[in-house]
Amino acid sequence: MHRLAFRVGLVLVLAAGAPACVSRSSGPQLIGVPAAVPLSELSDVTLQVGDQKGGTEALLRAANALDNLPYQIAFSTFTSGPPQIEALTAGKIDFAITGNTPPVFGAAANSKTRVVAAWDGAAPGEQILVRANSPITTIRDLAGKTILVAKGSAAHANVLEHLADNGLKPKDVKLVFLQPADALSAFANGQGDAWVIWEPYTAQAELTLKVRNLGNAENGYWFGSASTRALTDPKRNSALADLLIRYERAARWARENPSQWAAKYGKAVGLKPEIAALAQSRQVRRPIPLDDMVVSAEQRLADLFAAADQIPEAPDIAKWVDRRFNSVLAASGA
């Protein structure tokens, strides 16, 4: 809950009928970027957009960024990021914004998707929490301890990175996989030594439980992923470029009007105002280019998940990144 002149060149796109898993050496085929279509010619396009409660649609509407759309948008609500990647691969949606791990698992499964945009700023709200009176004071103290975390989530990535940075392996701790609502209840009732979580659950824990933060996420990225079907269709591709510009303007509005956005976000997800305000104060959605640093950070997550036996082999993440919109967004001033 919880970063048009098209670049001419080649982009990496998944081959149809690819196997369920992909090796590091294999990858998708190359196809050309379609020519830009004027916005005035997109009236017959309906862009299918995946969403989560209080996410993309809520932000766009709060910022009035859907006014005067030259195409249509149909939003579909999902519980989390992984089902959105699956829907993209199946061609049921054209675009979705997720955290940092769904694209990794998608690439490992040879998904028919591409990461096309990135935002930074989630790290402050992604934390490793322990109880205020816990004897645990460092990441190394987690050795032998029980950690509650949602499997395959940004929080899972967070704990794997911290363990690796401190010379620990996943087998050195006991990871108990629970979804956030279940983990909140368990942690509140004394279960688990630590809880790795993201917003708005972090804010909820801070304001309702006595907790301390052991460490923030190193990778605080969100990613916009598009289906290869949309990226190869001239009209959908052009609509996507416009939507990305609108989203980045909406994100800027939220940064400049934090109290207004927090109020609308809290109403959308049913949170108390103080929890919504704290959560959104740590989710700035700062647009960043899809550069080598971002790709490298994602590659590290892929390598860590593979080492932890969460995916069969780490894919070459660069092959699932499409930088065609970098120049479009830079030129827009969004």
Buried b (16+ CB within 10 A) or exposed e, 24-62: eeebbeeeebbeebebeebeebebbbbbbebbbbbbbeb
Mean pLDDT for the chain? 91
Read off the pLDDT of residues 197-234 as tens digits, 9 standing for 90 and up: 999 999 999 999 999 999 999 999 999 999 999 999 99
List CB contacts of 56: < 8 A, sequence separation 6 or more: 49, 75, 96, 97, 247
Mean of pLDDT values over 281-309: 96
Q: Report the SS3 class of residue 4.
A: coil
Instruction: Find, among 292, 326, 330, the residue nearest to 116 by Cα.
Output: 326
Quick one: 124-216 is in which CATH superfamily? Answer: Periplasmic binding protein-like II (3.40.190.10)
Alpha helix segments (H runs only) across 49-99: 56-62, 81-89
Distances in Å between the Cα of 263 and the Cα atoms of 136, 270, 299, 300, 326 are 35, 10, 36, 36, 31
Mean of pLDDT values over 66-73: 97
Query: Where are the CATH 3.40.190.10 domain residues in the chain?
Result: 39-122+221-333, 124-216
Residue 182 to residue 202: CA distance in whole angstroms? 14
> What does the block give as tokens for 108?
């490992």
pLDDT at 124: 95
**Is cis: bond before 200, omega within 30 of 0?**
yes
> What does the block give as tokens for 219?
């990778």
pLDDT at 9: 33
Mean of pLDDT values over 16-20: 38
pLDDT tier at 23, thresholds 50, 70, 90: low
pLDDT tier at 24, thresholds 50, 70, 90: low
pLDDT above 80: residue 22 = no
pLDDT above 90: residue 314 = yes
CATH for 39-122+221-333 (3.40.50.1100, 3.40.190.10, 3.40.30.10, 1.10.260.40): 3.40.190.10
Instruction: Find, among 5, 27, 84, 47, the residue nearest to 324 by Cα.
Output: 5
